Structure 1
């Protein structure tokens, strides 16, 4: 089953897996569901491991635990979280291989594809700005209108989706 096929540069983080064991026919289902992740169209996958092992439970039994990069909870490990940053340059392909005796409809997932981190520094001294003229400070700083953008200082030029954080 293909979980994600992401073109691009990017980074996967975080991701969540929710399993419902009520109908599990295979007691070792955490060993029989295999996670396969291939970066950048490589011939061999970078991750090929049973789901339980990937989420820190190599013995394939569910339990509640929390660590820095992984968590298995609530209700005896029905939900798994991973906070590993997994960057890729051109493509990420995430698959789940089922070696279960029958399709058991156990699996829900969420994968968040984060973009690359960027930082810029801009400095202009003195800034171009506009002349205050005869305006009071209040008129100039709060009440003024600049419909043309003339004299504005450009903080960021960017395209696409993402998050912006400023330190001034």
Structure 2
């Protein structure tokens, strides 16, 4: 049994040993952190044998107590299972723990939480099995040195025949290219046209293998400034399983519907499986962050999966999208490709009224 899944499991015997990697001061002192300098790629630890990661806690701060903007987009976390050379997890650290835009904020979901102070206590409860070792790595692309604290709590097992699926997480960012809103009416821009292929949707996950998708967080920066209706989220979710064509078996009715909210929401909300952590500014401008975790309803695939969502109805909108997808699958997995360089991961400046409709400046990053 891969750890306890409910209170009812706590009374059941477990044939495993609890272990931990941490940043404790091995001299017995109180310097319980790693010093990580710009450009460093640091192995947090390596586990031999078979087991499952049960819990990860991390926090960090500037070494000199000088706050660095967007630090949580500049630090990258990677995880490797069973002596693989390519990571199964590669995500900017803030996005991995549930919120984008390079920030932290107190919130709680079932698998991921950011706790006090100000969301800087990063926690993950996704189970992560391995049969032949695990390795964890942090890379700093920050401007200044940091101190980094962590726990990685895991169980060692005699074998891991129970599951051949491995945990994966991947980050994606795209400034979507829609249509020119100045050349059509606002009702057409927001609601017009028909998408009968899904080909130009924003892609949250594109994976090959057998497994199940267990959710994502999605972060949007609304790049349009207008006095007209400026709702960013009219796009449908479309999940294509095992190469199916449009319409896929899982075709939704709108972005807020996939994320289990309703009626163009702006009210912040959090729950075990879905939430809206940032609702945007007036007229849905500015930055948005939302999540949906398929803990009770994973999306299974036998050969491949492509999780997509329209960027505005019929992909009309040009906004800044980023997301982290979480899933389990057999190995080997499809290689992720190169993570965007740090300068291209930074949040964009807010859009001012005199820049309304002009997003071409952002397309070349």
Q: Same fold (TM over 0.5)?
A: yes
State the superposition RMSD in angstroms.
Answer: 1.9
> What's the offset of the Cα at 1:40?
0.8
Q: Give the conservation status (yes or no) of the 8 Å contact 2:60–2:146.
A: no
4+ residue segments displaced more than 6 Å: none
**C-alpha distance 86-56 of structure 1, shift in aligned 2 (>3 A):** same
Where do residues 51-130 of structure 1 align in structure 2 (5 Å cutoff)? 51-105=93-147, 107-116=148-157
- In terms of fraction of residues, the more strand-rich structure is 2
Shift of 1:64: 0.3
Q: Which has the larger radius of gyration?
A: 1
User: Offset of 1:13 from its aligned partner?
Assistant: 1.4
**Alpha-carbon deviations, 1:22-61, whole Å to 9, x = none?**
8244211101110010111112100011000110012221
Secondary structure in 2 matching 1:80: strand
> How big is each residue's C-alpha offset from its partner over 1:83-108, in whole Å with a ceiling of 9 and x where there is no partner?
01000110100000000112122x10
SS of the aligned residue for 1:30 comes to: helix
Structure-2-length-normalised TM-score: 0.31
Deviation at 1:17, TM superposition (A): 0.6
In structure 2, the residue matched to 1:15 is 56
- Counterpart among 74, 82, 88 of residue 40 in structure 1: 82
Q: Where do 5+ consecutive residues of structure 1 fail to align? A: 119-168
Pairwise CA distance, 1:20: 3.2
In structure 2, the gaps of 5 or more residues are 1-41, 160-365
Q: Is the 8 A contact 2:50 2:158 kept in 1?
A: no
Q: Tell me the TM-score normalised to structure 1 length.
A: 0.65
**Matched residue count:** 117
CA distance in 1, matches of 2:121, 2:94: 11
| Counterpart Cα distance in 2 of 1:99 and 1:37 | 17
| Higher RCO, 1 vs 2 (CA within 8 Å, ≥6 residues apart) | 1
